[in-house]
Structure 1
Amino acid sequence: MSDPGVVVGDDGFARPVWASVDPMLREYYDTEWGMPVRDERGLFERLSLEAFQSGLSWATILRKRPAFREAFHGFDPERVAAYTDDDVARLMADAGIVRNRAKVLATITNAGATLRLREDPEGDLAAFVWSFQPQDTPRPHTYADVPTTSPESLALSKALKRKGFAFVGPTTMYALMEAVGIVDTHLLGSHRRGTSGVWPA
């Protein structure tokens, strides 16, 4: 009997339902989601997009990602940290992105916090986030088995808030940890399980 948590595509590969139909989501799942991101800019982009995703579908954010990258200067934290009120007005007028003032301001705030972390003894943003990697990872059979938070995501959320970050709740941080490979929540029946090099299948 096939795993009820996965769908076998016409290419013979098993994926979770959310990645089984939409070609964009399937490509993202097959090539990006859950693969390690260990550089500062990459982590800042993922952190920013996860914050914008809050309350929306990831598909919405993924479709808008090229526009987000253009609008936020490739998520270069030095550029974003220097944004002025004129930049906020520009972003709020940009129909290509999610025009949420609180999330726009949080992204600018988080860019400044990212720069300050460079001087932190605990390391830059990438090193800091990865320091919350747990000793084990979930082994879900179905999507219902996948956690939405963890003790580590709660600890990361609190630590980032102490460092001046915003829109970094424990659920958002767990989604970040999944996306950048800190935990592996690929379903056990998925062809992507254990492919990150961080966790065994």
Structure 2
Amino acid sequence: MPRPELIRGDDGAVRCGWSGADPEYRRYHDEEWGTPQHDSVRLFEKVCLEGFQAGLSWITILRRRPAFREVFHEFDVERVAAMGEPDVLRLLGDERIIRHRGKIEATIQNARATLELDEPIERLIWSFAPARRETPPATFAEVPALTTESTALSKELRARGFRFVGPTTMYALMQAAGLVDDHLGGCFRSPGNALDVPFQPVE
């Protein structure tokens, strides 16, 4: 059965239905998803983790994020870029993360591509931010899988040597990093709605 469009939590707050009852997923919905992120390290991390998510559920990645941060040196670009085949082999044996050679190698390549940029990755990504919509989506059916902007961002990153950055993956990045706000109308996080639970934006 499909999830309800909106759900009311035990704290009384109305949220997008995908947040479910999992505490970590709820925290992610409340504090991160749709919150504008301008920190280049965190944006690099999101590019890489959205790539790992391809074909999987986001909660699978979210639960493993602490391990991803550990093995990829807190996503310090220079340290990740310096990783090589011995590191790849070591990570392929680490059950705490997604053991996919292509995605592990893509993370290292994405770090190297980031170092080659002539501008901060934050500036590059945000240059593709679309205009803010006037009204929030009312249903999940109104939320696109990809857009003109995410397709253009994907094309630009691929041209600069990034991998696992397809248009759908880049739209998920835009949602996660707050370039777009796809909280449904009625959700307490939706633009214009009064917050009915404490909310502290991500640093």
TM-score normalised according to structure 1 size: 0.90
Other-structure match for 1:153: 150
The one-letter code matched in structure 1 to 2:176 is A
Q: Which runs of 5+ in 2 are unaligned?
A: 193-203
CA contact (8 A) 1:37 1:43 kept: yes
RMSD after superposition = 1.2
Task: Name the residue aligned to 1:56.
Answer: 56
On the 8 A contact 2:136/2:191 being kept in 1, the answer is no
After the TM superposition, which of the residue ranges 176-185 and 19-28 deviates more from structure 2?
19-28
Deviating beyond 2 angstroms after TM superposition, the runs of 4 or more aligned structure 1 residues are: 136-139
**Alpha-carbon deviation of 1:33?**
1.1
Q: Is the 8 A contact 2:8 2:15 kept in 1?
A: yes
Matches within 5 A, 1:81-120: 81-117=81-117, 120=118
Distance 1:81 1:194 in 2: 38
- Between the aligned residues of both structures, percent identity stands at 55
CA distance in 1, matches of 2:187, 2:164: 31
Q: 1:179 aligns with which of 171, 176, 179?
A: 176
Partner of 1:130: 126
Aligned residues: 188
Paired residue secondary structure (2:64): helix
Cα displacement (A) at 1:5: 1.9
Report deviation, 1:136. Answer: 2.9
* 2:167 aligned residue: 170
User: What is residue 32 of structure 1 aligned with on the other side?
Assistant: 32
SS in 1 for 2:99: coil
Question: How many Å separate the matches in 2 of 1:29 and 1:115?
Answer: 31
1:189 corresponds to 2:186:
yes
Q: Which runs of 5+ in 1 are unaligned?
A: 196-201
Alpha-carbon separation, structure 2, partners of 1:154 and 1:160: 10
Does the aligned pair in 2 maintain the 1:106–1:165 contact within 8 Å? yes
